[in-house]
Amino acid sequence: MAAAATPLESFNLIHPDDYARHGYPHEIWRRLRREDPVHWWDRTAGVPFWAITKHADIIEISKQPERFVNGKRLVIGHEPEQRPDPVFPPTLIEMDPPKHGIYRQLVSKRFTPRYLQRLHRDVERIAAEIVDALVEKSDSGECDFVREVAAPLPIAVIAWLLGVPKSDWNLLFDWTNRTIGSGDPEYQREGKTSQETAREAMTETFLYFSKLVEERKRKPEDDLITLFTQARVDGQPLPPMDVLAWCLIILIAGNETTRNATTGGMLAFIENPGELRRLQQSPALLPSAIEEVVRWTTPIIHFARTASEDYELRGKRIRAGDALALFYPSANRDEEIFDEPYRFRIDRDPNRHLGFGMGEHFCLGAHLARLELSVAYRHLLPRIEEVELAGPVQRLHSSLVGGVKHLPIRYKLRPSA
């Protein structure tokens, strides 16, 4: 591969359009890892930042949440930064210690493997319904894998966990698309900027959830909304806006990411049919295959940190107030950590990927995501006799979530066992 020939200017690391047009810039990240892993990126109308591309450096930074804070900014945009919107309170991932730990603890029990075992049957049922719906249509044909399979499952699971009635699941789909894909022409509101589009979607989400919150206060259920309404910090209930911020982060964080891991995994199986056959023949490989799908796809492109004090990293002087972008997909191809990083290998072991992040903010939903992915693939993959692309892959305009918006596939399914 002619990595050195790829000029850094050929791709803007935080421009949504470049990700939509070209997918992940693995050549550029490879160059940065090799030549300048802590790279000052100032070719932007937005805030300049340190591009962090090595696995070890992302760990070093993520493990120091007081030195590298989330509260100041969570993502780096390509437009000039606006002041934080005073209407929306910070969500969990925008909090810093010690508040972050206190808030996280309020719900962390609901996301442990042990608690999730209680959900297993329900997730299984939801996944089976989705795959059966596909099969009922026809045992061969064409479909948009995102719309038919990858998107409905995480929406359904999150909605069900939160306690949103089935009749409203489509609304959630629309709100997450417009919040995460606010810079995408398919979702951006006419005459509105990307920031205005996201704000409008968040306002609608807040209004919707405020009604459900009131209902749960009157009539508690065994769901997350009820848990948020009953939560106490220092003996006090959470401020109403914090309850809504909780609903928002669970909805937003759990949807696009899982959707894109499922879709990117399917694409990897299409491109590596040998690995699909291997998994069909050896279902015991599913857990390691799921980890490889998360490494391979790494749905979160970057999260930002801001230095709260001066710090030296690989000889570079990071100043207090500087922004940093942690490029997780780059860390997950780091040749110092991974053997043959550019090969999709379902039996990769060890697989110390950073797809779910690391340290203080390590993905709260990692076990849930693994459960969803494994249930979806367990229902679907054994049924696949043939699968291929039926059209171009359409990617999301986003430098936060590396998304495939539409994955047209042509398939032939076997009857269920």
Alpha helices in 194-239 (DSSP H): 194-218, 224-230
Handedness of CA 78, 81, 87, 88 (dihedral sign): positive
At 299, list the tokens.
């749905």
| Rounded (10°) angle between helices 240-271 and 194-218 | 120
257 near ligand HEM, judged by CB under 6 A:
yes
Identify the CA nearest to 294 among candidates 328, 339, 334, 271: 328
Between residues 188 and 262, which has the closer beta carbon with respect to ligand HEM? 262
Q: Is 254 an interacting residue with respect to ligand HEM (CB under 6 A)?
A: yes
Q: Is 361 in the site for ligand HEM (CB under 6 A)?
A: yes
- Compare residues 188 and 332 and give the one whose CB is closer to ligand HEM: 332
CB nearer to ligand HEM: give 46 or 299.
299
Asked if 152 touches ligand HEM (CB under 6 A), the answer is no
What type of residue is 343?
Answer: R
Closer Cβ to ligand HEM, 270 or 363, answer by number: 363
Residue number, 37 or 402, with CB nearest to ligand HEM = 402
Q: Would you count residue 368 as binding ligand HEM (CB under 6 A)?
A: yes
Question: Is residue 266 part of the contact set for ligand HEM (CB under 6 A)?
Answer: no
Rounded least distance, CB 180 to ligand HEM, Å? 12
From 28, 61, 126, 253, residue interacting with ligand HEM (rule: CB under 6 A): 253
**Which C-beta is closer to ligand HEM: that of 31 or that of 334?**
334
Tell me which stretch binds ligand HEM (CB under 6 A): 5-13, 15-23, 30-38, 363-371. 363-371
Sign of CA dihedral 160, 166, 168, 172: positive
With the C-alpha atoms ordered 410, 146, 119, 357, is the resulting torsion angle positive or negative?
positive
Q: How far is the CB of 370 from ligand HEM (least distance, A)?
A: 8
Quick one: which of 283, 295, 270, 299 has its CA closest to 348?
Answer: 295
Bridge pairing between strands 404-406 and 394-395: antiparallel
357 sits near ligand HEM (criterion: CB under 6 A): yes
**305 strand-pairing partners:** 324
CA dihedral 194, 195, 201, 205 (to 10 degrees): 150
Site string for ligand HEM, 312-341 (x = CB under 6 A): ----------------x-------------
Whole-angstrom CA distances from 138 to 410, 413, 415 are 12, 9, 11
- Report yes or no: 90 and 65 within 8 Å, Cβ to Cβ: no
Near ligand HEM by CB under 6 A: residue from 358, 380, 381, 400: 358
Q: Which residues pair with 316 in a beta bridge?
A: 313
362 lines the binding site for ligand HEM (CB under 6 A): yes
| Cβ distance to ligand HEM smaller for residue 31 or 348 | 348
**Closest CB to ligand HEM among residues 78, 100:** 100
Pick from 153, 249, 404, 413 the residue near ligand HEM by CB under 6 A: 249
Distance of CA 321 to the CA centre of its chain: 26
- Quick check: 410 binds ligand HEM (CB under 6 A)? no
**Which residues contact residue 191 at a Cβ distance below 8 angstroms, ignoring those fewer than 6 apart?**
none
Rule CB under 6 A: choose which of 28, 294, 384, 409 binds ligand HEM.
294
| Total count of residues recorded for the chain | 417
Q: Are 180 and 394 in contact (CB under 8 A)?
A: no
Which is closer to ligand HEM, CB of 324 or CB of 369?
369
Does the N-terminal peptide bond of residue 415 adopt cis geometry, omega within 30 degrees of 0?
Answer: no
The verdict on 65 binding ligand HEM (CB under 6 A) reads: no
Residue 40 or 362: which CB sits closer to ligand HEM? 362
Burial class for 237, CB neighbours closer than 10 Å (0-12, 13-18, 19+): middle
Q: Count of residues binding ligand HEM (CB under 6 A)? A: 28
Residue type present at position 306? T
**Site for ligand HEM (CB under 6 A): which residue of 28, 172, 307, 363?**
363
Does the protein bind ligand HEM through residue 179 (CB under 6 A)?
Answer: no
By CB under 6 A, the residues from 93 to 122 that bind ligand HEM are: 93, 104
Inter-residue contact 213 to 225 (CB < 8 Å): yes
List the structure tokens of 107.
Answer: 């719900």
Q: Is 62 in the site for ligand HEM (CB under 6 A)?
A: yes
Binding site for ligand HEM (CB under 6 A): 62, 92-93, 104, 249-250, 253-254, 257-258, 261, 294, 299-300, 303, 328, 355-359, 361-365, 368-369
